[in-house]
Structures are given as structure tokens and as C-alpha cells.
Amino acid sequence: MTKETLTVTDNRTGQTYELPIEHDTINAMDLRQIRVDPGDFGMMAYDPGFKNTASTKSTITFIDGGKGILRYRGYPIEQLAEKSNFIEVAYLTLFGELPTQKQYDDWAYEIRHHTFVHENIKQLMEAFRYDAHPMSMFISTVAALSTYYPEARDIESADARMKQIVRLIAKVPTIAAFSYRHSRGLPYVYPNNDLGYTENLLYMLDKMGQTDYAVNPTLARALDVLFMLHVDHEQNCGTATMRVIGSSHSDPYSSMAGAAAALFGPLHGGANEAVLRMLVEIGDAKHVPEFMEGVKNRERLLMGFGHRVYKNYDPRARIIKKIADEVFEITGRNPLLDIALELERIALEDEFFVKRNLYPNVDFYSGIIYQAMGFPVAMFPVLFAIPRTVGWLAQWQELLADSTQKIARPRQIYLGEGTRDYVAMDARS
């Protein structure tokens, strides 16, 4: 009978320790018993970027990075992308099960009837410069929502939490659309509660004076599938941020503003914007070999490639690539696709990329589709944040329900100065 333990010998003292193993993991606090002198603090693990540290137990999303597997609540992303829709996947992610028809109808009704924002939010957004980045406007406005719903600070109340969850999921498309219209100097288009989730977003973004404006259903469905693919991705940087802020019992609006700020970074959800800027800079497929030499010489990153978890093709990128063809049927082919395909072709063959398991990730092809649909590049991180709102909130709920969780407060290895006395100004060299 094998023992589920790890035996560790501290060669400094010859002392041996037996550490329990659970889920192929040891509890970091079990290291603290390893010390040279009884008065020592005890041993810690050092893990910059948390590359090998589990911060929580979760039942929401499963990723197998080696096999390129992604499942929400056990359902493969490929099946959900083909058979489900964003509102249903949002329900599944938050509540853990696929909804019955009545549960779905009630949930869809709730989301459709909380799309409006307070009129003061419009005035708040008017204060941004004309060229304010839409993602910065999104982050600021989400934080500002907390001033309209003070009951959101009652995070112990399940009812209060659910009210804010519905509000955030319903309102982020409106905030996104208002950010876009502001950046274009266009009047805001109010939500139309008769429309579906992505249909309403496209309506608020695109409608001008037409009285018979209709959203293209193929584009609405393509965006719905893209949104499903972006709902959650276990403990990524933005979600980890949501959990860190949420662990101090901050309200969900303030927590999510922080999560969105983390997502904005070009190494994370801001990569979709960085990919497009990279493709435009390359300009033509014939410049790809020269560009790739620059990447191999460490002069820059190949944006949209590589992943902390996937050491195989990101399953989302595979699905997104298929959606591109459906969208281009309507919008016309995006010429940047040729550059992207050439980058991928070389990366999948070249030893530098193969050795480092650098495959296209979710951000590589999504931007090409968004641009073909007419979205300005600066809107791409916002289009990531809208669906990820569901994942952030589901993970936030799970955090608050987990009695083993505490306020996040990592330790450090101090390598600074020892004690020294204050030196008067005239005595300093």
C-alpha cells in the first residue's frame, strides 16, 4: 500500500519530515516545520509568477495544457461552442449545471432587463478625453458602478451578490458600447431589451439613424461563440487578481475593475490588440521571415503565441480560426490573415518555437475577426473583458464560499539592508 506522503530530508540538520500529499500537491504550510533552529520562521516555497503554485481548489474550469483540453464544469469547449450560447454558458459557469428551459428563460430575462446604466454614468463617461482608450474607460466605469449600489459591499449576502452579478453581466456590453461611441464622438444607443446578448451589443455599437436597423445574425452568432470561448480560464492573471481583491472582501465592482486592469496588460488579454498592431507593422507576409529573426534574437515577443498552461495548440484558437471563415463570408477576407497564417506556419516548424511549446493562443486569431467585423483595435481588450466578467464572478463566488480561503497575502525573501541608524542630512555623503 503506497503512502500518500513525501519524505523530505533537510541535509542541514539530517532531520526527516513526512509531508502529506493531496491531489498530487503538498500544503505549503507543511514546509514551515522545516527549520534549523527552533526559533526560525520555517521553510517557504519561492515561486515568482506562481508558475507552480495552486492558490485554490475549484470545480469551475479544467484545462489540460499538454493535451489542449478546456472544459467548463466538465463540458468540452468544442461542444459548448457548437451547441450552446453565451447566456447558457454563463448560467453553467455560475451555477454549475446546464439550465432547464425555465431556468434558462428566467436567467435570460434577468440579464436582458438590467442592461441600462444610471444616466450619471453617461455624464461620467463624457468626462473622458475624446481619445481615451476604451479599456481604460471600461475599467474606470466598472469601478464607478460600486457608487450606485452600496449594498454590493454586503458580500456575505447571497442575494446581494447575485443582484450585482446580474447587473455586471447585463451592463458590461452597455458600458463597452458607450465607450466605443464616446471614442467615435457618436451619440449613445440605448440597449434594446428585445435583442439577444451579442445582438444587443452590436446594435448599441453600430446603429445610427436607421429606423429599420437589423444586426446580421451570422455576426451576432460568431460573436456569441467568441464570447463563450472567453468566459473563463481557471486561475489566469485577471482571475487571480479578482480573487486577491475579493479575498479582502471588497465589493464585486471594485474587485472586477482590478481584474479588468490585469487583463488589459499586453501579456494577457491586451495581447489581442498587440497582435493586430504586430500584424499591421509586419505589413506583408514576405516580411515575416525577417520579423521572426527579430523574435528569435529576443528583440520582441511573437504576440498571440505561447501560454503559461497550454504547451499545445490553445483549443480556443482552433475554434476561432474556423469562425474566421464564416465572418469573412460576410465582411470580406481580412488580408492580415495571410500574415498570421505565415507566422503560424513558420512558428510550428521552427525549432525556437517548437522547443518552447509556442503555439497560437486565444488572442492570435480573435483580433483578426474583430477587425474584420469593424471593431477598432483598441476595443479588443474590452471584447475580452465582457465575457470574462462571467468567469471572474463565478470564481469570486467560489472564493467566498470556500471556508479554507483567507485574505491573500504572499510572503517574500528579504535581501535588503540589515538594521542601520538614521543619518542627519549634513552627515550624508
Catalytic residues: 268, 307, 363
Tell me how far CA of residue 147 lies from CA of 113, 122, 151, 188, 421, in angstroms: 20, 14, 10, 22, 45
295, 323, 324, 383: which one binds ligand SDX (CB under 6 A): 295
Task: Rank residues 30 and 234 by Cβ distance to ligand SDX and give the closer one.
Answer: 234
CA atoms within 13 A on the CB side of 115: 26
Least distance between ligand SDX and beta carbon 324 (Å):
17
80 lies in the site for ligand SDX, by CB under 6 A = no
Instruction: Build a one-symbol-per-residue string for 12-51: x at contacts with ligand SDX by CB under 6 A, - elsewhere.
Output: -------------------------------------x--
In Å, how far are 62, 270, 376 from 391, measured between CA atoms? Answer: 13, 17, 25
Distance CA 304, CA 273 (A): 9
Question: Contacts with ligand SDX in 144-173 (CB under 6 A)?
Answer: none
72 binds ligand SDX (CB under 6 A): no
Give Cβ neighbours of residue 310 (< 8 Å, ≥ 6 apart): 63, 65, 68, 357, 359, 361
| Bridge partners for 18 per DSSP | 7
Residue whose Cβ sits closest to ligand SDX: 306
Among 176, 177, 183, which residue's Cα sits nearest to residue 205?
177
Q: With respect to ligand SDX, which residue has the nearer C-beta, 65 or 99?
A: 65
Q: Which three cell numbers stand for residue 24?
A: 498530487
By CB under 6 A, the residues from 253 to 272 that bind ligand SDX are: 267-269, 271
Contact flags string 330-359 toward ligand SDX, x per CB under 6 A: --------------------------x-x-
CB of 330 to ligand SDX, least distance (A): 26
Minimum distance, C-beta of residue 50 to ligand SDX, in the bound complex (Å): 10
Q: Is the Cβ–Cβ distance between 202 and 215 less than 8 Å?
A: yes
The verdict on 362 binding ligand SDX (CB under 6 A) reads yes
Decide: is 363 part of the binding site for ligand SDX (CB under 6 A): yes
3-state secondary structure of 62: strand
State how far the Cα of 42 lies from the Cα of 39, in Å rounded to an integer. 8
Q: Please pick, from the candidates 246, 258, 306, 315, the single residue that binds ligand SDX as defined by CB under 6 A.
A: 306
Where in 73-147 does DSSP place strands (E)? Answer: 75-76
Q: Does 377 bind ligand SDX (CB under 6 A)?
A: no
Phi, psi of 61 (to 5 degrees): -125, 140
Round to whole Å and give the CA distance between 111 and 99.
Answer: 15
Under the rule (CB under 6 A), what is the footprint of ligand SDX? 49, 233, 236, 267-269, 271, 295, 301-309, 356, 358, 361-363
